[in-house]
Amino acid sequence: MRAKVPVSVVHRAENSPSEPLITVAQLMALMKALWAASASFSPANPDVLLDQ
């Protein structure tokens, strides 16, 4: 599954020092694509973890 967002959105989200400067729709598209790739998110850890 692809998020179908511009690469610039990913760069803004990754390089933001605090809250990402992207829309909620863009964030949800990225998260859905990561969930489809078996990624997990934790409020205690800002990193995305791939489930094995």
The full set of domain ranges for the chain reads: 7-50
Residue 20 has a pLDDT of 84
Residue 48 has a pLDDT of 82
Q: Is 4 left (phi over 0), alpha (psi -120 to 50) or beta?
A: left
Residue 1 has a pLDDT of 83
Residue 28 has a pLDDT of 93
Residue 22 has a pLDDT of 94
Residue 10 has a pLDDT of 92
Strands (E), 1-52: 39-42, 45-50
1-52, pLDDT tens digit by residue? 889 999 999 999 889 888 888 999 999 999 899 889 888 888 787 788 887 6
